[in-house]
Structure 1
């Protein structure tokens, strides 16, 4: 990169006796190209970073206002500087040019001795071309190492490492939401965070018209800023190929295969998960909690559609599809004051009529497969109990008891709840269910709300339960025994209901 300071040190420029009339904000400002022209209308023909050499011949017939306009037009084009040779056309620097250049912040230099502009242009632009050639050689060196690494069976990690080894600066490949897939040249997490916040150069990685992520480059002695920008753009194209090869390698919908592999626990690691999640357009923020979803319904497509609608309403990242006749999904829940319990909150917003849905535990993205498997493992129990939409944690005990046969479950119920079972059978009441709901909610107010009864009616039921059991339902010493027994009773009731259901022909 040729800077203004470098330009002033060129032999041809030094021979011309340069003087700073309006100093640039930084002598390190880059010069893209050096032009010489005497036409007044040169402004629209220049680009940002260009430097203009002129004797001022085009300004000799212009009045002060026109000269000010000429300066403003050059400043609007964001040229690097104007270099004015004093002599026959302009024996001295016009005051209006100096004043307007200061107002516009346009760097302005004057030359006191005549030197052919062709010499200045050849020397300056030759230096610029040499620098450009060096950048291209650096980029070629990086891409050569990257292609060699990929040809040897490497993936995105090797791609990033090869780039960092040449630039000697930090390099990272991230998904659209900022999840780091691979990084090299960073000393610690603080350096990684700094690269994510303020990369020197970056370029988007796109696959099949999908904005998958980006290549980020930090400063290093192996390349200057324009070189890093060029390198980032070239690396992004190679990274897109590497990501596609590491992921599904196909432009088809990658959601269902990824969910199936997570369910089977065959995704080999976090990097593979991040790659394939990005390909499936699932970009959870790094701080979000990810929860697995599983549902069974007559038409799983309706469930997936309902999940998509809820995700849109609540601004959530969702990955969902049908897998082997069921609806499976991952949803990312960002932290929020009303979402301290992401699983409980999701269970309240994902209810779908006619479907049984389970919500796995809230985990980080690398543990997404665990949450999905927990949700799916709880689905048969939730279906048996007819629980609607429920966090999988509420089904841990029923899942454990499900291994017992009816006799074993019945023994648990008789040992703890025989008086209640007898009373319900004789009076057509539902004291066992009332006790189960109360044990689950803990609060009499919440229990009454869940049972849709007045609090006074609930108090009467609880008094009857305590009288029959001979102890308080809130006694901590009896709590575990009663929880297990009511869960066993619910399983027995569900099994009886399933056995009595008429078979379809």
Structure 2
């Protein structure tokens, strides 16, 4: 671990050397990882970040000012914590170019005005570092033992963070890679938790099965320092990886398919487990994102999954998708944006349609992801029957309800509202029932209806006038709207059943 520069200067051996500040550190708490002594000029490349160098300046005595500046820059470039020059036979005074370059390079620089054997300073300083390390290791071992006991007793991630928070007296959180809080403890209020998320005192990545799932975040507590928290975070992260993996399928096989299967069966007990397992599948929805369920039927679901992956990558979206029972299932996280007031509709407009029938569930909070997925999956047979490409489940609600009826019941609905129009189509070979259905589905918007039917607006106007004449009532009459929507939907279902030969038994 380390001492701070302030603690180093307070050591008895260092005080005996009568240290003076030539270039002050930007922070007295700058960490000293180890203390070395050397007189060779080329010492810089042999040092590491956080090292402190003791020297009499013998290696600088015979070189010019430019070489001395280079020596300082090399130490600063290595991230050395500080340099201490003993004034005496080699350097009676601190060279101006050394102090000037140290200020430029922001290298803390001290002079030692009395002779103290460097071995004494090194022994005391490095002994203190090792002693502090031993104390920290004992504390960390004790905390880890408590966490082990809690996990062995059946506790999960909440027990883990509670144990650590109780031991350190500071806040602790376990978060997914996207910043979703899975478990937290020790924070006085939400503002304290928010501060921990923004600026933890220590953190370590949680990697179950070599997946960057998330992180452990630790805040400062009474009697803790950065070195202890860094060490503790690294150890706790390994235990957190075990707890996270245990909350999943228990093996690294196929976390995405397993989670989608359980969401479909509605057997994921809560948001915490959903977050844990989603991270194992490399699905990290941002906290404010809406989640949309997807289901698709295709000869080869792999092509569908590849298309979804391209869309997600191109739009910067988080995607969890896999094959489940021969179908493609997925969840997409859609972050808020000005052009995404309707996240499900926005996503549906960007999904590839070729060679598959895809249903897009409602946009919901992450906690309700299973609901959106189940809605999409439940609508898939109806979408397949109707031959739709990519369709929102909300557009299939009526068709799903009517799909529970047999042909006779559907036929009655059609005959009661559309008998003259059905007869006209049969006699003339026209397709006015479908034209009316598309017109109603697009809210009576003639421009959108014409585009959906791939006809000119004038041709559509002629068709709508013919429909009104045959039915004996205007197609845009609000009083007839619901009746016509139900009847045209029933007609489309009957036509689809005829086309596929998929007729339920008459009741």
Q: What TM-score does the superposition give when structure 2 sets the normalisation length? A: 0.92
Shift of 1:125: 2.2
CA distance in 2, matches of 1:498, 1:61: 96
Shift of 1:333: 2.6
Shift of 1:149: 0.8
Runs of 4+ in 1 over 6 A off after TM superposition: none
Q: Mapping of 1:398-413 within 5 angstroms?
A: 398-413=399-414
Q: Which runs of 5+ in 2 are unaligned?
A: none
2:259 matched to 1:254? no
CA distance in 2, matches of 1:74, 1:339: 53
SS of the residue 1:173 aligns to: strand
1:240 aligned residue = 241
2:123 aligned residue = 122
Cα distance change of structure 1 residues 484 and 130 upon mapping to structure 2, 3 Å threshold: same
Shift of 1:222: 4.3
Cα distance change of structure 1 residues 281 and 104 upon mapping to structure 2, 3 Å threshold: closer
RMSD after superposition: 2.3
Contact preservation (8 Å) 1:169, 1:222: no
1:30 aligned residue = 31
Q: What does the per-residue CA deviation read over 1:274-323, in whole Å, with 9 as the maximum and x for residues that have no partner?
A: 12212122222333322111222333333333333433343333222222
CA distance in 1, matches of 2:322, 2:32: 53
Contact preservation (8 Å) 1:166, 1:222: no
1:156 aligned residue = 157
Cα distance change of structure 1 residues 349 and 39 upon mapping to structure 2, 3 Å threshold: closer
Q: What does the per-residue CA deviation read over 1:176-228, in whole Å, with 9 as the maximum and x for residues that have no partner?
A: 22222222223444433333332222222223332222222223334211222
CA distance in 1, matches of 2:37, 2:301: 70
Task: Return the match for 1:467 from 466, 469, 492.
Answer: 469
Cα distance change of structure 1 residues 115 and 444 upon mapping to structure 2, 3 Å threshold: same
Shift of 1:158: 1.4
2:298 aligned residue = 297
Shift of 1:263: 0.6
For these two proteins, the number of residue pairs brought into alignment is 501
Cα distance change of structure 1 residues 381 and 60 upon mapping to structure 2, 3 Å threshold: closer
2:100 aligned residue = 99
Cα distance change of structure 1 residues 500 and 20 upon mapping to structure 2, 3 Å threshold: closer
CA distance in 2, matches of 1:320, 1:134: 47
Cα distance change of structure 1 residues 85 and 353 upon mapping to structure 2, 3 Å threshold: closer
CA distance in 2, matches of 1:76, 1:318: 42
Q: Which runs of 5+ in 1 are unaligned?
A: none
Task: Return the match for 2:450 from 448, 451, 464.
Answer: 448
CA distance in 1, matches of 2:22, 2:334: 58
Q: Mapping of 1:331-410 within 5 angstroms?
A: 331-410=332-411
SS of the residue 2:489 aligns to: helix
Contact preservation (8 Å) 1:378, 1:392: yes
SS of the residue 1:362 aligns to: strand
Q: What does the per-residue CA deviation read over 1:392-447, in whole Å, with 9 as the maximum and x for residues that have no partner?
A: 11111111122333333233223322332232233322222111111111210111
Shift of 1:338: 4.0
CA distance in 2, matches of 1:299, 1:94: 76
Shift of 1:337: 4.2
Shift of 1:232: 1.6
Shift of 1:132: 1.4
SS of the residue 1:480 aligns to: helix
CA distance in 1, matches of 2:347, 2:23: 63
CA distance in 1, matches of 2:105, 2:307: 57
2:135 matched to 1:134? yes
